Structure 1
Amino acid sequence: MANPGMYTALTLLILVSCCRCSMWEWGPDLEGPWCAKRPFGEQCCDDRNDDCSVPILGTECYCDVFCNATAYDCCPDYWSLCHGITRRPSPTPFTTLPPRTTRFPSSITRNDCVKDGITFNPGEKLQDNCNECICEVYAGPPRRYEWRCADDVCLIRPSKIDAVNHGGHSWKAANYSSLWGLSLQDGVKYRLGTFPLEVNVVRMTPIRVKLDEVIPESFDARVKWKDLIHPVMDQGNCGASWAFSSTAVASDRLSIESEGAIKDELSPQHMLSCDVDKQLGCEGGYLDRAWWYLRKRGVVTEACYPYTSGQTTKAGDCQIAPRQRQGTCPSGAIYKIEKRYKATPPYRLRPLEREIMKEVMDNGPVQATFQVKEDFYMYKSGVYRYSNLSRDEAPENRLSGYHSVRIIGWGVERTPQGDINKYWICANSWGTDWGENGYFRIARGVNESDIESYVIGAWGKVTGDVRLRRLLQRNRRRRISSGKKFRSLRTCGRKQRRRNGGRCRRHKKKHKKQKKKLFEKL
């Protein structure tokens, strides 16, 4: 039998000699405590003890003598705590433990880190939708390796898709590869982008639309003004719906008012990069300030200033001066002042279904702001109504935000059960792979998700081309003269009509005054 003193001396000799060897070192970020966190009396273990370990960086380090026998897997404070030997940590600021290949704790009976039939090693990571998972030791009992995943709420949730599709709802849901892997918080931040309306904007007095004709059961601006309604764009991962919807409505109105003489698509990137007064670019913006910029500064075409923020998630620096008259575009094309378009002051419509329909039918698409809730991202087809499937879940599962889109028409859907679903046709800005080729239908007449609460219209303006400017003014005057912009303002009472011989003279004067004031703005 060997002498115990000789064994102890031999062990220390091996340890000290190993300290002088070229071994893997840890950085100052891992100085500990590690072994010192173990229960008193069990901090340092003799011989081999596979339970004498501490979790570290998704794997384990050890506090027994065997930790340096074959593969270096000692805890960073093992030498100082167990042997009183001070080792200088590596100057490297961060440390990643190397994979342990020669030691597998005998007390761990199985590895549950399996995905799609593939077994992962301790410390390995994978991405599960919007959550990152790492294979770590589970203390048990029994002790085993299993996945530890983040707990973020994902934007696309297969359980919600199944619940919508099999729950008797008026719409269908689907998975989108462009949205897979994003959290719900990411969706609100990067896929929307319209700030809630300020109090003074909400108080904006709406116009009254004259309702003097029968409104059809269905209408589509793409059919009435063929080739004049601009296609759906994709804002990508940039909260820029405030810029996309404003420039899209202005583009459509210019095409319609010019009777096809102007078919240019206005640049949302120009507005995104250059309209910086209290706007936050890809983090959101206000609609009233977007229209102010269109009215005062104007916006060039998409061909001149192409969209790039969807890939960078940044608005970028403005590359066009506010009063630039010549030079080159960001795209390299020649800058033309006549291709910088403006808009008149926007006007608000009353939140009445028929008045919104009449405005779209007479003058073209309008801009609408609505509240996007957690299930809308998964919309595929049908007439959208909020499913409210997350009503019993935590608030973080029901995050919502505001989004702005174009309303381009309406219609009616009759179900096999005999139900009638009235809907708006809206153009989104998430690309043509989303929804019904980039469009969606949403319940009409019930202010679903506030879609009818704040609806905006505007007319376009031309700055450089005199011929086009006169064409727009002539067509606009014809609309006003035909009474399509104003309804009768005869709102006086019975007594006043008797005094005025059955007429509301004061209101007629007000009507003429409003017309004259509008003409002066043109």
Structure 2
Amino acid sequence: MKYLLLLCTVGHLVWTKPNSECSNPLVETINSKNTTWKAGVNFPGETPAEFAKKRLGLLGNHQDPNFHPEKKVHPVGRKTVIPPSFDARDQWLECRDVIDNIRDQGNCVSCWAFAAAEVMSDRLCILSKAELKFEFSPQDLLSCCPHCGYGCGGGYAFAAWIYWQERGIVSGGDYNTNTGCKPYEGLAYLNNTTPTCKTYCTNTNYTIAYDNDRRIGASYFSMSENIQQIQYEIMTNGPIQASYKVYEDFTTYKEGVYQYTYGAELGGHAVKIIGWGSENDVPYWLVANSWGSDWANLKGYFKIKRGSNECGIEANVIGGIPLYDSDPTTDPVTDSPDGTGSAMKAMSSALVLLLNGFIFFILYQ
């Protein structure tokens, strides 16, 4: 089964290494156009080709026409109030530290795993009213999801969410954080190499066993290319995952509202949208990147033009609802709260795991 694949290779780009922003012809070209954003050098000493190879998750449009995930539709009408600006960090202050956590995929082009894990973490915190500040592990997805793609070679966006719902994902922070069950490994962060799947907690200081740490999703879905639908979903349930096409000029983004200005298409990238607003009368989406908080001038965030499907960002939106039960005696993997409609609720843990394995096998044949 084929899904939207976020690949991680780049074509052969020929550039000269910039000594300064003034000597970078791409930066000069973009800024000379007086567009809605400013360009600059984000990683001095690296050519744009090196930058792209290490940081961008490129998009291959491999979609199965027979695969139609549920498309969520909200009852949005003329009386629905959509504010002119919105920021999930301000809306859910109790979860601000989770939502505002800009992560760093390093040299592994694993944007597909990071964007999914970030959105899952945010939504679980919001749903639990900050009772569960559980940091889902991109490492667990990257290494252990057999049908998510090629690890550091790229991944399928929807497959990550299916894996979350069927198998569950453990906790884990960024590289060198010692946070959660499976923090991001140096092999991926430093060497762009997919580590082998480990079904145990690699953080020896973490006290919860791997199988007990896994948490699953109740549902996943796509969104239509409708601005109000996307906004309403963010307002209601929290940040969403989106994929968009990446062009050469995006590697130089510093500030302002990005829109395609100059350069060839490199592929695509998966990110997290947390809100929206307007700058100088230009509407934008507020987006969290996974290149670290020192990227660009907005502490790891960027703004991209809203309302015109800029670079395809409004056509590739994914969300999901975590499985959450406020009763601490229940198992997050095998128990289901009232209202989810899950058949697992009445099953023993052994039968649930068997059923999940069977469904997972069928889905990917």
Q: For 1:346, what is the secondary structure of its paired residue? A: strand
Inter-partner Cα distance in structure 1 for 2:70 and 2:148: 23
Q: What is the CA-CA distance between 1:284 and the residue it aligns to?
A: 0.3
RMSD of equivalent CA atoms: 2.8
The answer as to whether partners of 1:271 and 1:290 remain within 8 angstroms in 2 is yes
Instruction: Provide TM-score, normalisation by structure 2.
Output: 0.77
Equivalent of residue 363 in structure 1, options 214, 237, 250: 237
Q: Which runs of 4+ in 1 moved over 4 A?
A: 154-157, 462-465, 467-472
User: Which residue number in structure 2 is paired with residue 213 of structure 1?
Assistant: 80
Inter-partner Cα distance in structure 1 for 2:164 and 2:317: 17
Q: For 1:458, what is the secondary structure of its paired residue? A: strand
Q: Write out aligned runs for 1:160-239 (5 A).
A: 160-177=26-43, 180-184=45-49, 187-188=52-53, 190-193=55-58, 195-200=60-65, 203-211=68-76, 212-228=79-95, 229-239=99-109
Q: What is the CA-CA distance between 1:208 and the residue it aligns to?
A: 1.4
Q: What is the CA-CA distance between 1:166 and the residue it aligns to?
A: 3.3
Q: What is the CA-CA distance between 1:275 and the residue it aligns to?
A: 1.3
Q: What is the CA-CA distance between 1:293 and the residue it aligns to?
A: 1.4
User: Which residue number in structure 2 is paired with residue 296 of structure 1?
Assistant: 166
User: Which residue number in structure 2 is paired with residue 519 of structure 1?
Assistant: 341
Change (3 A) 1:262 1:471: farther
Q: For 1:441, what is the secondary structure of its paired residue? A: strand
User: Which residue number in structure 2 is paired with residue 61 of structure 1?
Assistant: none
User: Which residue number in structure 2 is paired with residue 335 of structure 1?
Assistant: 208
Inter-partner Cα distance in structure 1 for 2:74 and 2:198: 40
Inter-partner Cα distance in structure 2 for 1:194 and 1:293: 20
Q: What is the CA-CA distance between 1:198 and the residue it aligns to?
A: 1.2
The answer as to whether partners of 2:336 and 2:342 remain within 8 angstroms in 1 is no
Q: What is the CA-CA distance between 1:519 and the residue it aligns to?
A: 2.8
Q: Write out aligned runs for 1:499-518 (5 A).
A: none
Inter-partner Cα distance in structure 2 for 1:432 and 1:177: 13
- Give the structure, 1 or 2, with the largest relative contact order (CA under 8 Å, sep 6 or more): 2
Equivalent of residue 255 in structure 1, options 120, 125, 128: 125
Q: What is the CA-CA distance between 1:292 and the residue it aligns to?
A: 1.7
- The reply on whether 1:379 has 2:245 as its aligned counterpart is no
Q: Which amino acid aligns with 2:168?
A: G
Q: Write out aligned runs for 1:121-520 (5 A).
A: 152-153=14-15, 158-177=24-43, 180-184=45-49, 187-188=52-53, 190-193=55-58, 195-200=60-65, 203-211=68-76, 212-228=79-95, 229-277=99-147, 279-302=149-172, 303-308=180-185, 309-320=188-199, 329-332=201-204, 333-336=206-209, 337-388=211-262, 390=263, 398-414=264-280, 420-435=281-296, 436-461=298-323, 465-466=328-329, 473=337, 477=339, 519-520=341-342
Q: For 2:284, what is the secondary structure of its paired residue? A: strand
Q: For 1:252, what is the secondary structure of its paired residue? A: helix
Inter-partner Cα distance in structure 2 for 1:329 and 1:203: 35
Inter-partner Cα distance in structure 1 for 2:258 and 2:88: 20
Q: Which amino acid aligns with 1:199?
A: D
User: What is the count of residue pairs matched by the alignment?
Assistant: 310
Q: Which amino acid aligns with 1:176?
A: N
> Once the two structures are aligned, what percentage of the paired residues are identical?
34
Change (3 A) 1:189 1:237: closer
Q: For 2:216, what is the secondary structure of its paired residue? A: strand
Q: Which amino acid aligns with 1:192?
A: G
The answer as to whether partners of 2:72 and 2:222 remain within 8 angstroms in 1 is yes
Q: For 2:155, what is the secondary structure of its paired residue? A: coil
Inter-partner Cα distance in structure 1 for 2:17 and 2:80: 44
The answer as to whether partners of 1:230 and 1:265 remain within 8 angstroms in 2 is no
The answer as to whether partners of 2:135 and 2:171 remain within 8 angstroms in 1 is yes
The answer as to whether partners of 2:148 and 2:160 remain within 8 angstroms in 1 is no
Question: C-alpha deviations, 1:248-276, integer Å up to 9, x for none?
Answer: 11101100000101002111011111113
Q: For 1:249, what is the secondary structure of its paired residue? A: helix
Inter-partner Cα distance in structure 2 for 1:153 and 1:201: 41
Inter-partner Cα distance in structure 2 for 1:445 and 1:350: 13
Larger-gyration structure (1/2)? 1
Q: What is the CA-CA distance between 1:473 and the residue it aligns to?
A: 3.8
Q: For 2:256, what is the secondary structure of its paired residue? A: strand
Inter-partner Cα distance in structure 2 for 1:410 and 1:173: 21
Q: What is the CA-CA distance between 1:230 and the residue it aligns to?
A: 4.6
Instruction: Provide TM-score, normalisation by structure 1.
Output: 0.55
Q: Which amino acid aligns with 2:300?
A: G
Q: What is the CA-CA distance between 1:278 and the residue it aligns to?
A: 5.7
Change (3 A) 1:169 1:359: same
Inter-partner Cα distance in structure 1 for 2:37 and 2:331: 43
Structure 2 unpaired stretches of 5+: 1-11, 173-179, 346-365
Q: What is the CA-CA distance between 1:199 and the residue it aligns to?
A: 2.7
Q: What is the CA-CA distance between 1:247 and the residue it aligns to?
A: 0.6
The answer as to whether partners of 1:349 and 1:455 remain within 8 angstroms in 2 is yes
Inter-partner Cα distance in structure 1 for 2:306 and 2:55: 27
The answer as to whether partners of 1:233 and 1:432 remain within 8 angstroms in 2 is yes
Q: What is the CA-CA distance between 1:335 and the residue it aligns to?
A: 3.2
